[in-house]
Structure 1
Amino acid sequence: MTVELDLTTDPVDLTAALVDIPSESGDEAALADAVERALRAQAPHLEVVRSGNTVLARTRLGRPSRVVFAGHLDTVPANRNLPSRRTDGVLHGLGTVDMKGGDAVMLHLAATVPDPKHDLTFLFYDCEEIDASRNGLNRVERDYPDWMTGDLAIVCEPSNGVVEAGCQGTMRAELRTTGVRAHSARAWMGVNAIHALGDALRVLAAYEPRVVDIDGCVYREGLQAVHIAGGVSGNVVPDEAIIRVNFRFAPDRTPTQAEAHVREVFDGYDLTVVDSAPGALPGLTAPAAQELIAAAGGTPVAKLGWTDVARFATLGIPAVNFGPGDPLLAHTQQENVPTDHITRCADVLRRLVTS
């Protein structure tokens, strides 16, 4: 069944329409098709390009500055939270928060602001909720690098309608201990690798994370054990054990510096970094960022978590998070967004891009 989207309708209604088109990661084709059709039909002022299940659109008006908006089309798997429904000023359903409310605001702006004061780029991409290697922005950066450039990038992830600046970096590492197997009835003949993790667990329990203020935004670091594995059977002294740790680090550290810190904390252990992604500095001094802050009101806060703003920051583009919905409800069965969040975010971004 072909679904037609009306991009000029109220952004709340548009959010509900987007939610009602299932788009679990890897299965975004139907939604990408609908977005592409609507942009081509209702926004003739935009250049539109399709790349897999990513849809790109932009103005080319020769403005002295460009703002890039980014939003992913995919969701986590449904959990008895489709289709959308409304109760007392709240829109419920999968993706209302993460992040079809933000997508709806972007699409509404794309179609209804043909003469913005900044040139505008809109990136609607696939596979954000799964392995980073499949993220559609990788393909955009490789095949259409000029579409990633601008004076400010706004990732419309949920932020409670507050400007969330930058983001934390993230690193996962494994600590491995080895021992000697033996029958548990003759344990003195072996060396227990699980017991050897004890010191590392005590280090984690006593660890005091940094709290870092960068341009008035406070980032809280965290080093946590997130998985532990070991053991052979119920009557064998184990000869191998692993702790997986996650380090969320402030954006004033590079991944190299973050790794050095983790290795220092666990000095003497066999440690392997599994993956790592840099954070993003706030970038609030950019003129377009200052315009957004003025339009949104309030005080910017640090983004505690990793988002695709880091991709733009790596390219030297100031980037912030700004979108409707409470990020704490993302990925939950109870996912919902107050409709006035959507309306307010649409109004703020319209002020940003119009004279």
Structure 2
Amino acid sequence: MSLDLTATSIDLTRQLVDIPSVSGDEGPIADLVEAALAGATHLEVIRDGDAIVARTDLGRARRVVIAGHLDTVPINGNVPSHVETDEAGETVLWGRGTTDMKAGVAVQLKLAVELAEPAVDLTWIWYDHEEVAASLNGLGRIARNRPDLLAGDFAILGEPSNGRIEGGCNGTVRVRVTARGVRSHSARAWMGVNAVHGLAPALAKLAAYEPAIVPVDGLDYRESLNAVEIGGGVATNVIPDKAWMLVNYRFAPDKSAAEAIAFLEEFFAGYEVVVDDAADGARPGLDAPLAQEFVRAVGVEAGPKYGWTDVARFAALGVPAVNYGPGDPSLAHKDDERVPVAQITDCEEALRAWLTGAITA
């Protein structure tokens, strides 16, 4: 089996979707990507685990990094891919990974082999383990092992954005909020202190809280603060002495993860608050000259990215980055995941035009 990079980006998307690559099993698809790039003499190809890096070295004044992940969430009867025409008469490609994000990867692979003389030097990265724990993330591994491979003046992450540009991303913090009590027999409840009841004030405060809309560098980021899991109890005849909830805070990139944690500690004053996970967001990066040129070339208005994405890894290295790719992000991970084929073509054409003619090196 091999990948045909001379195929249309639509057909190449189908090829990629039909290769299972659930997180942890990216080896076969990484092997195929590496083999398909072997004949592109204008690219230096480097492998790091199941991540593939391909880059030009043309002596251009500026370098753009374009990245996408190879893995998907688990398949649930939605592979192989198929094409349908929807009620509006639009041709749509269905299957796991069509949106998140093999359509974006197909566009990137096709352009990587075809653009031998781009206007800027290019680093293409296709990486593993994006859909699982951050500690396993292939882009994070490259950032630790070979940060030089992520260096550039601007970066584009091919996350689904409906073919629009989404600048930066919100940060995320997850904390465990715990209430303590005293056990007793439920028939003598007055001899104990009910920890489940003790969470009630915190839940009421959460329910009443109105998350902010925060302007950052011209974009409005919507925050969110929610209980996402809750637990407690010992037995049906015991007053519980411990209850807890996990709370997820999606915060605007005007603040750091440390500042977000400090906010949560104050918000839940009187409770035990332990950080379960935290990641900084990324400012839009749209003030960078290359970002402005990209926005003009694509011809769409930039908006914010509400979810966390790997653009934050580029931002941490001082590389301004945006999200840009085909597919509706609200369909990511859903069993009816699908992408309009016109979006695949449009993204390819926009990137091709920008990388070959919209920039003077």
Q: TM-score, normalised by structure 2?
A: 0.96
Name the SS of the counterpart of 2:214 in structure 1: strand
Partner Cα distance (1:140, 1:262) in 2:
31
How far residue 143 of structure 1 moved from its aligned partner, in angstroms, is 2.1
Instruction: Give the match for residue 5 of structure 1.
Output: 3
- Residue of 89, 93, 113 corresponding to 2:115: 113
Instruction: Give the match for residue 47 of structure 1.
Output: 44
Partner Cα distance (2:239, 2:45) in 1:
62
Once the two structures are superposed, residues 133-168 of structure 1 have per-residue CA deviations (whole angstroms, 9 ceiling, x without a partner) of: 000112211222111010111000000000000000
Q: Percent identity?
A: 57
RMSD: 0.8
Instruction: Give the match for residue 71 of structure 1.
Output: 68
How far residue 82 of structure 1 moved from its aligned partner, in angstroms, is 0.4
How far residue 260 of structure 1 moved from its aligned partner, in angstroms, is 1.1
**1:260 to 2:301 alignment:** no
Partner Cα distance (1:12, 1:332) in 2:
20
Partner Cα distance (2:97, 2:148) in 1:
29
Partner Cα distance (1:142, 1:181) in 2:
47
Partner Cα distance (2:177, 2:286) in 1:
37
Matched letter for residue 142 of structure 1: R
Instruction: Give the match for residue 88 of structure 2.
Output: none
Matched letter for residue 235 of structure 1: N
Q: What are the ranges of 5 or more consecutive residues in structure 1 without an aligned counterpart?
A: none
- Residue of 114, 134, 146 corresponding to 1:144: 146
- Residue of 174, 192, 206 corresponding to 1:172: 174
Partner Cα distance (1:250, 1:138) in 2:
22
Partner Cα distance (1:256, 1:304) in 2:
19
Name the SS of the counterpart of 1:299 in structure 2: coil
After TM superposition, the structure 1 = structure 2 runs for residues 284-323 of structure 1, keeping only pairs within 5 Å, are 284-323=286-325
Once the two structures are superposed, residues 7-33 of structure 1 have per-residue CA deviations (whole angstroms, 9 ceiling, x without a partner) of: 122100100000011000000111000
- Contact kept, 8 Å, 2:156 with 2:324, in 1: the verdict is yes
Q: What are the ranges of 5 or more consecutive residues in structure 2 without an aligned counterpart?
A: 86-90
Matched letter for residue 22 of structure 2: E
Name the SS of the counterpart of 1:243 in structure 2: strand
How far residue 215 of structure 1 moved from its aligned partner, in angstroms, is 2.5
Partner Cα distance (1:208, 1:253) in 2:
18
Instruction: Give the match for residue 188 of structure 1.
Output: 190
Partner Cα distance (1:139, 1:258) in 2:
25
Instruction: Give the match for residue 210 of structure 1.
Output: 212
Matched letter for residue 257 of structure 2: P
Partner Cα distance (2:231, 2:131) in 1:
25
For these two proteins, the number of residue pairs brought into alignment is 352
- Contact kept, 8 Å, 2:140 with 2:313, in 1: the verdict is no
Instruction: Give the match for residue 135 of structure 1.
Output: 137
Matched letter for residue 9 of structure 2: P
Once the two structures are superposed, residues 40-72 of structure 1 have per-residue CA deviations (whole angstroms, 9 ceiling, x without a partner) of: 12x211000111111110000010000001100
